[in-house]
Amino acid sequence: MAVRTDFKVEPLKFRIIFAVVLISALAVIWSAYVVGTNYVQESAIRSLKQLVQSETVILEDHLSRTLDVVASRLKFVAAFTNEQTLKDKRLRGDQLYELIQEDRVVRSLSLADDHGRIVASSNPRNVGVSIPLSELPDATIKGGSSAAVSFGNVFEHRDIFEINSDAPNNSGLRFWLVSMPVNVGGRIYHWIATVNVGLFENLWRRINDDPGTEIAVFDYQGKRISAQHSEVTAPTSGFGEELLKNASNADLGFFESKLNPNLLTAYRSSAEHPAILAVVGDKSHLIATLRGERNQAMFYAFTGSLVVVVLIAGLFRWYLSYEKSLTELANQITATGAHLMISESSRDGKILWANPLFLQTTGYDLSEIKGQNHRIFNSGLYPSGFYDDMWSLINRGEIWSGVFRNRNKEGEFFWVKTTVIPFLDPWKKVSRYVALYTDITEAILTSERVNHERSLRKELSKKNRELVVDANTDPLTGLPNRRAYEEFRKTAIKQARTNTQPISILMLDLDKFKDVNDTYGHAVGDQVLQEVAHRWSKKMRASDILARIGGEEFTVLLPQTTLAQAELVAEKFRDVISRTPITLDLGDGKLLTIDATVSIGLASTDRIINEAGLDMLMKQADDALYQAKRKGRNRVVPHSN
């Protein structure tokens, strides 16, 4: 057997490689540090831009929809405001409160007369309070024509009644005044809504509580109406005017402040509402928060450099030891029998040698496979993970055993039981692999034939069982048919005679079922039968049988059941049909509801019974069924002697 003796050690070459690897690794680590920290900072700024822009869209939509709700409330009450409603005092506080009681946006809804005095309000405390007309935004169209909804100032009060109060506002609540004038008999009244400013601020806190990001609403004079984290823009004088200038050019946009380059601002405004929603991000705050990450990255770079130096030094030390001790493997593959195929491979899986039996089985010459990978015998029937697991095992120096289905030179499959043995050098490192194969093709083929025959027998047995089930099942309802019923009768008779047990029979017939078929067709009739069978099946005991014996006729055989018990069962069967109409899906969204009823006759005996006796009992139940029909249907009638 051939043994490799051409392995060469090149000390200078490997020392140069180690030096290059060390320098390259350190260069990669520190380049990654510089590039990474810059990338993280730039990515964070891009994320901040995206954040302020996305939050602006969400919050402005919420603001607009909220103010639309306020406007709709004012327009609604204005439409019902006239001399008659004022005269009749139909604008009562309780009615106004009902209008907004589920509304978290509008804190109160009030009507002020042409002197600013509140004459009606959802908040009783507001009635009688006077509000200066100068505080009401003028949106009146003179001459009695319609007026628009206008938005005024933000007040540091909870509601209108506190405006003229000298008591300090300790609640911390604020409201935004919104009004709409209405002409009543030549007098200009104002409907006033107080908007809960805290609603916006609560939402802002839930969406973004980053102190480096400000969410604010400005009016069209550049005045801040409300803000969260206003300290972001507070040091920048004139920010409101800069925002207003940008908003005058476009209703929505993004800009980097010229007054403070650290401020990134996204805004949206609408001509329908005197408000500009702005989200402002502070780059300087963001960069300050990244300082810890930069220091951490530097620590990782130093640590990584140290680890690389230690690792390379350790590998180099191992290489020096390996370089000195590398010898030709002393282990030789010994043929253990003429029936074994043997191949020898390098550590990378390339074939070095194979014995004659291996060559005979595969159909190759040694010159054709030497230097090739064993993949040339791959049958393509195994996933890559199969080979990965094998290589993982033998690379650790452990022996692998298993079965392969390989392909020979002619493309024919052959089975081999294989043992792959890693050969180790004096340092217990894998140097090459020797594989021993046993041809088990014939045994596998024999096993496959046996398994195939066993599978055919199982399939035949399954088909036979299916035929038995089909022969005893009504194809429409899935219930037992007359044949299954007859078989069950025989068993029930034996049990009744052996144990002297009572036995009962129900005969069931759907009322006026012919009318259903004549009116809607047999397809609908079939669906009715299926639904009836489904409902009854859920009421059955495991010891009983429900069978369809023809058309709309069914029968139930109840072993170990007295007449009184059978009547209870029959009433359940009648009730489950008559109580709930049958709803059918005709397709295309069409539904059909049918009120169905059933007439039931029953008979029972506690005497020892035979087949003739059971036939008589069935006839008695059938006679009772016809009595139920004659008495008006939808009833249970027991047979009476």
421-474 pLDDT tens trace = 989 888 888 888 898 888 888 888 777 777 766 766 676 556 656 556 667 889
- Sheet arrangement for strand 503-510: 545-550, 553-559, 503-510, 598-605, 636-638
| pLDDT given for residue 504 in this prediction | 93
Q: Decide if pLDDT at 144 tops 60.
A: no
278-337 pLDDT tens trace = 888 887 777 777 788 888 888 888 898 999 899 989 988 888 887 786 644 333 434 454
- The CATH number covering residue 556 comes to 3.30.70.270
Q: Which of 465-474, 560-569, 623-632 has the lowest mean pLDDT?
A: 465-474
Residue 379 lies in a domain: yes
| pLDDT given for residue 8 in this prediction | 59
Domain identity same for 425 and 477 = no
Q: Of 439, 457, 486, which marks where a domain is finished? A: 439
Q: What stretches of 185-340 adopt beta strand conformation (E)? A: 187-196, 213-218, 224-228, 252-256, 263-270, 273-282
**pLDDT, greater one: 10 or 597:** 597
Residue 45 lies in a domain: no
Report which listed range, 131-145, 209-223, 347-361, 463-477, is most confident: 347-361
In 3D space, the residue among 144, 137, 157 whose CA is nearest the CA of residue 71 turns out to be 137
| pLDDT given for residue 332 in this prediction | 42
**397 neighbors 430 (Cβ within 8 angstroms):** yes
Residue 397 lies in a domain: yes
| pLDDT given for residue 501 in this prediction | 81
Q: Decide if pLDDT at 576 tops 90.
A: yes
Q: Decide if pLDDT at 492 tops 50.
A: yes
| pLDDT given for residue 333 in this prediction | 38
| pLDDT given for residue 68 in this prediction | 82
Q: Of 390, 419, 439, which marks where a domain is finished? A: 439
**pLDDT, greater one: 389 or 322:** 389
Domain identity same for 481 and 628 = yes
Domain identity same for 77 and 222 = yes
**pLDDT, greater one: 522 or 154:** 522
pLDDT category at 632 given cuts 50, 70, 90 is: very high
**598 neighbors 570 (Cβ within 8 angstroms):** no
Q: What is the mean pLDDT of residues 27-52?
A: 81
Total domain count, the chain: 3
Domain identity same for 429 and 490 = no
| pLDDT given for residue 633 in this prediction | 93
Residue with the two structure tokens 């043992």: 419
Helix (H, G, I), strand (E, B) or coil at 53: helix
| pLDDT given for residue 601 in this prediction | 96
Residue 463 lies in a domain: no
| pLDDT given for residue 141 in this prediction | 41
Q: Decide if pLDDT at 196 tops 50.
A: yes
pLDDT category at 608 given cuts 50, 70, 90 is: low
Q: What is the mean pLDDT of residues 588-608?
A: 89
What percent of the chain has a predicted confidence (pLDDT) above 70?
91
Encoding tokens for residue 151?
């938005």
Q: Is 419 left (phi over 0), alpha (psi -120 to 50) or beta?
A: beta
Domain identity same for 364 and 511 = no
| pLDDT given for residue 10 in this prediction | 79
Residue 512 lies in a domain: yes
**pLDDT, greater one: 238 or 529:** 529
Residue 310 lies in a domain: no
Domain identity same for 426 and 509 = no
The rounded distance, in Å, linking the Cα atoms of 500 and 410 is 77
**418 neighbors 435 (Cβ within 8 angstroms):** yes
CA distances from 582 to 437, 551, 594, 596 (A): 71, 18, 5, 7
**127 neighbors 112 (Cβ within 8 angstroms):** no
Mean residue pLDDT of the chain comes to 83
Domain identity same for 160 and 214 = yes
Domain identity same for 488 and 413 = no
Q: Which of 157-166, 340-349, 614-623 has the lowest mean pLDDT?
A: 157-166
Residue 357 lies in a domain: yes
Domain identity same for 419 and 354 = yes
Domain identity same for 397 and 508 = no
Q: Decide if pLDDT at 85 tops 50.
A: yes
Structural domain boundaries enclosing 539:
472-638
Domain identity same for 566 and 417 = no
Q: Which of 347-351, 461-465, 548-552, 560-564 has the lowest mean pLDDT?
A: 461-465
Q: Is 222 left (phi over 0), alpha (psi -120 to 50) or beta?
A: left
Q: What is the mean pLDDT of residues 582-599?
A: 88
Nearest 5°: phi and psi at 170?
-100, 0
- The CATH number covering residue 434 comes to 3.30.450.20
Q: Decide if pLDDT at 534 tops 80.
A: yes
CB atoms within 10 A of CB 187: 12
Q: Of 394, 416, 439, which marks where a domain is finished? A: 439
pLDDT category at 46 given cuts 50, 70, 90 is: confident
Q: What is the mean pLDDT of residues 99-119?
A: 87
Predicted TM-score (pTM) of this structure: 0.41
| pLDDT given for residue 202 in this prediction | 80
Q: Decide if pLDDT at 636 tops 90.
A: yes
Residue 173 lies in a domain: yes
Q: Which of 319-333, 569-583, 597-611 has the lowest mean pLDDT?
A: 319-333
Domain identity same for 419 and 540 = no
Encoding tokens for residue 414?
């052959």
